[in-house]
């Protein structure tokens, strides 16, 4: 495995995290996960837009221009001959003596690497089980920050319950999944939480909304309740690595017929057309 460490490509064994890196001590940094299909990064501009926005929102400078970052990521894909998989890219505020306030001097540190992985076609076909969990995260979930403990605890609760994802809610209003956006279908209309500070503005979410529009599926970017989730005809989650995955049971109760629904299938097919593959 090759590591992109700042602007250098180095071997995995040579990569070292400084104990005073603020990403390590405070989770003071931002990240992206970018899907690679056939050796090409998918929605790269959208991911870099979001990376820049996340950095701006935490008042952290980025180490390189957009062009240079793009060039480095493409070099990384080439170095590891990555065809199917994803890039993990993180940038921290850098290394400085431990103090919560920003250091007066520090250089951001970029780390990235490529992971080979196939599309989760079994999950796409058969769906997953989800549980519901209270959303205990902070109020800036729109920032893709390294602070993921809320997500980690929610996902572990799902795994402990024999499920694959935790669907989060704030006082009964569904926000998103621990690492995915959540959609429901009710009376052939697609519902998903609006892109505000309570959810990550998923790139796959945005792609899915555009595909729905193209397919003539009515869309409502409006908050919906746990009751709406439980009585939905269809539920699905979206993310960079999962694409569109049906949820066939919530808290052990089947969603709709207990099988992936027609609207979900239609959107999966449209998504596959967009990325140029078929299962
Ligand atoms: N919501 C959360 C909390 C996430 O962590 C993620 C991805 O990791 C998503 C949604 C999906 O976002 P994207 O489609 O950009 O991968």
What digits encode the pLDDT tens for the residues 70-85?
999 999 999 999 999 9
- Residue ranges around ligand 1 (CB below 6 Å): 33, 151, 176, 179-181, 200, 202-205, 238-240
Bin 189: left if φ > 0, else alpha if -120 < ψ < 50, else beta: beta
CA 182 to ligand 1 center in whole angstroms:
10
Q: In which residue are the tokens 């402990």 written? A: 160
The secondary structure of residue 21, as a DSSP letter, is B
Pocket test for ligand 1, best of 32, 120, 200, 201 (most atoms within 8 A of CB): 200
The secondary structure of residue 136, as a DSSP letter, is -
Please report the pLDDT score of residue 106 as a whole number: 81
DSSP E strands, the chain: 2-5, 8-11, 29-37, 40-41, 85-92, 109-116, 128-134, 165-170, 173-177, 181-186, 189-192, 219-220, 224-225, 234-239, 243-250, 253-254
Please report the pLDDT score of residue 279 as a whole number: 45
Entry pTM: 0.97
Please report the pLDDT score of residue 267 as a whole number: 98
CA 179 to ligand 1 center in whole angstroms:
5
Please write the tens of the pLDDT for every residue from 123-146: 999 999 999 999 999 999 999 999
Q: Are 61 and 109 in contact (CB under 8 A)?
A: no
**What is the C-alpha separation between 31 and 29, in angstroms, rounded?**
7
CA 254 to ligand 1 center in whole angstroms:
24
Q: How confident is the model at residue 195 (pLDDT cuts 50, 70, 90)?
A: very high
Q: How confident is the model at residue 278 (pLDDT cuts 50, 70, 90)?
A: low
The secondary structure of residue 196, as a DSSP letter, is S
Q: Are 206 and 199 in contact (CB under 8 A)?
A: no
Bridging pattern class, strands 253-254 and 243-250? antiparallel
Tokens of 186: 């009710």
Asked whether the predicted pLDDT for residue 277 surpasses 90, the reply is no
Catalytic residue list: 144
Q: Which atom of ligand 1 is nearest to the CA of 181?
A: 10
């Amino acid at each position: 495995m090759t590591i992109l460490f700042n602007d250098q490509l180095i071997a995995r064994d040579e990569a070292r995290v400084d104990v005073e890196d603020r990403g390590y001590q405070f989770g003071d940094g931002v990240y992206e996960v970018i899907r690679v299909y056939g050796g090409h990064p998918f929605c790269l501009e959208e991911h870099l837009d979001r990376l820049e926005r996340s950095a701006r929102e935490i008042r952290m400078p980025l180490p390189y221009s957009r062009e240079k970052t793009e060039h480095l990521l493409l070099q990384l894909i080439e170095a590891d001959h990555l065809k199917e998989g994803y890039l993990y890219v993180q940038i921290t505020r850098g290394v400085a003596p431990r103090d919560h306030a920003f250091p007066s001097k520090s250089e951001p540190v970029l780390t990235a690497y490529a992971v080979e992985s196939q599309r989760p076609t079994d999950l796409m076909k058969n769906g997953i089980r989800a549980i519901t969990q209270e959303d205990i995260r902070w109020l800036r979930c729109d920032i893709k920050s390294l602070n993921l403990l809320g997500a980690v605890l929610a996902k572990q609760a799902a795994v402990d319950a024999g499920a694959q994802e935790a669907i989060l809610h704030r006082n009964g209003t569904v926000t998103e999944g621990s690492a995915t956006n959540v959609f429901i279908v009710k009376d052939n209309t697609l519902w998903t939480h609006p892109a505000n500070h309570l959810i990550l503005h998923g790139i796959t979410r945005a792609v899915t909304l555009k595909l729905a529009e193209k397919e003539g599926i009515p869309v409502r970017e409006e908050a919906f309740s746990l009751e709406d989730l439980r009585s939905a005809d269809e539920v699905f989650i979206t993310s960079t690595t999962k694409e569109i995955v049906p949820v066939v049971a919530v808290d052990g109760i089947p969603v709709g017929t207990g099988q992936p629904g027609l609207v979900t299938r239609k959107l999966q097919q449209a998504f596959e057309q967009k990325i140029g593959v078929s299962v």
